[in-house]
């Protein structure tokens, strides 16, 4: 009797173990496999394909997950395409706002370029005549990247040009622009900018600097030197800032090069900076080139230095030369 009971217990125990193993293999393994796939999806991997070769119930679940992922990827692709199109449209608007006719007159030659790190950027250049003898020219760099920087850039560019064309003194142009840019500036963005107004008859250039890189000046038959001058506070950073008008004199044959820090702060894969010395050296090496060739040569040198390192900042430059009589 006792042996019969023990035999039955052993038999049912074996049956229980077999059933448990079958459940574990057929059900728990499928659950774990599906959970593993879902974990990858949650982690951002939308290329996951859930195994549909399982029990019928889990096969339907896996099929549903795969269909959902397929639809999701389709909508993401459509959204990315639309965003790319809108960014390209924004890029074309931004570039169309920059002057693209570069004067080569009897008194001077001028060229400028902007190469953005993203589809749109925060750098800008500008130049325009205030009267037949006074040429305003500038470069500027908005903090941040992308659409917000581009919008702030457009505001700053339009504002500064309007204030200049209204006839304000050059120091007042920046003082008034600063007040306007500080209004409702909840994003705490700011602009560094260098603005010059050249009198083409006298060669006198009045300028004002709002926290921007110093330009390089080349006197006739001499090498380039960084302009030593005091920089004021950035535009849009704090209300009530005053800016000082400063002055230099350019003679026929003299040249001036303006740039943003995307040039000197370009880095290579070894995390080395392009730097101010390298910029000066490349400029000194380009005798007899015109304004456009000089800007293109600098950009090429910066890109060769950076190599395969991604461009992390906009690169903008402006070159002005007073011609000899």
99-121 pLDDT tens trace: 888 877 778 899 999 888 766 67
pLDDT digits (tens, 9 = 90+) for 11-53: 545 554 545 455 455 555 555 665 565 566 555 665 666 555 5
- Secondary structure class of 26 (helix, strand, coil): helix
CB atoms within 10 A of CB 115: 17
Q: What is the pLDDT of residue 146?
A: 76
SS3 324: coil
Instruction: Check whether 232 has a pLDDT greater than 80.
Output: yes
Cα–Cα distance, 278 to 76 (Å, whole number): 44
pLDDT at 282 (0 to 100): 95
Which pLDDT score is estimated for 44? 60
Residues 6+ apart with CB under 8 A from 286: 293, 294, 297
Mapping DSSP to helix (H, G, I), strand (E, B) and coil, where does residue 270 land?
coil
Answer yes or no: are the C-beta atoms of 2 and 10 closer than 8 Å: no
Please, what are the domains in the chain?
Answer: 2-77 (no CATH), 101-322 (3.60.40.10)
- In angstroms, the CA 71 to CA 69 distance is 5
| pLDDT for residue 31 | 59
Give the pLDDT band (50/70/90) at residue 55. very low
- The whole-number pLDDT of residue 122 equals 77
């Amino acid at each position: 009797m006792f042996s019969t009971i023990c035999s039955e217990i052993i038999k049912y125990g074996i049956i229980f173990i077999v059933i448990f193993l079958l459940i574990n293999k057929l059900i728990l393994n499928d659950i774990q496999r599906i959970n593993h796939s879902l974990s990858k999806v949650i982690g951002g991997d939308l290329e996951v394909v859930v195994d549909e070769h399982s029990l019928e119930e889990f096969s339907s679940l896996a099929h549903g997950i795969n269909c959902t992922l397929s639809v999701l990827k389709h909508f993401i692709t459509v959204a990315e395409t639309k965003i790319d199109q809108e960014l390209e449209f924004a890029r074309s608007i931004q570039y169309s706002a920059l002057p693209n006719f570069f004067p080569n007159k009897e008194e001077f030659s001028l060229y400028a370029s902007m190469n953005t790190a993203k589809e749109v950027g925060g750098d800008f250049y500008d130049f325009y005549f205030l009267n037949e003898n006074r040429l305003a020219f500038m470069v500027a760099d908005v903090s941040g990247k992308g659409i917000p920087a581009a919008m702030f850039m457009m505001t700053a560019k339009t504002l500064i040009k309007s204030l200049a064309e209204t006839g304000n003194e050059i120091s007042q142009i920046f003082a008034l622009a600063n007040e306007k840019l500080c209004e409702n500036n909840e994003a705490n963005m700011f602009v560094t900018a260098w603005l010059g107004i050249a009198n083409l008859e006298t060669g006198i250039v009045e300028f004002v600097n709002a926290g921007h890189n110093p330009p390089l000046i080349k006197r006739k038959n001499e090498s380039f030197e960084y302009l030593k001058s005091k920089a004021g506070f950035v535009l849009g950073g704090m209300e009530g800032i005053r800016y000082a008008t400063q002055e230099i004199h350019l003679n026929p044959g003299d040249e001036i090069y303006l740039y943003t820090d995307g040039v000197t702060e370009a880095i290579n894969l070894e995390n080395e900076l392009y730097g101010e010395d390298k910029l000066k050296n490349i400029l000194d090496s380009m005798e007899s080139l015109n304004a456009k060739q000089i800007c293109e040569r600098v950009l090429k040198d910066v890109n060769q230095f950076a190599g395969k390192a991604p461009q992390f900042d906009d690169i903008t430059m402006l070159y002005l030369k007073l011609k000899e009589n």
